[in-house]
Copies of this chain bind each other. A is one copy, B any other.
Amino acid sequence: MDKLAGAMGTRAGLALRLAQAIFSVGSLLFMCLDVSVFSYSYAPFCFLVATMGLVTPWSLGLATIDAFLVLVKRPSHQARVLSAVVLGDWVLSVLSLSVSCSTFSVVDYLIASGSPNCRGNICRRYQLSAAMAFLTWILSLTSLLFNLWLLPTLY
A interface residues with partner B (beta carbon < 8 Å) = 41-44, 94, 97-99, 101-106, 108-110, 112, 152
Q: Which residues of B contact A42 (CB under 8 A)?
A: 109, 112
Q: Give bound CA distance, A108 to B41, whole Å.
A: 11
Given A94-B97, A101-B102, 6 additional A-B pairs, CB 8 A: A43-B108, A97-B97, A97-B98, A98-B98, A98-B101, A102-B104
Q: Give bound CA distance, A41 to B108, whole Å.
A: 11
Contact present for A109 and B108 (CB under 8 Å): no
Q: Give bound CA distance, A44 to B109, whole Å.
A: 9
Q: Which residues of B contact A110 (CB under 8 A)?
A: 109
Query: Could you say which of B97, B106, B112, B152 contacts A105, with CB atoms under 8 Å apart?
Result: B106
Copies in the complex: 2
Looking at the assembled complex, report how far the CB atom of A40 sits from the nearest CB atom of chain B, in whole angstroms. Answer: 13
Looking at the assembled complex, report how far the CB atom of A43 sits from the nearest CB atom of chain B, in whole angstroms. Answer: 6
Q: Which residues of B contact A44 (CB under 8 A)?
A: 105, 108
Q: Which residues of B contact A109 (CB under 8 A)?
A: 42, 106, 109-110
Q: Which residues of B contact A112 (CB under 8 A)?
A: 41-42
Contact present for A105 and B102 (CB under 8 Å): yes
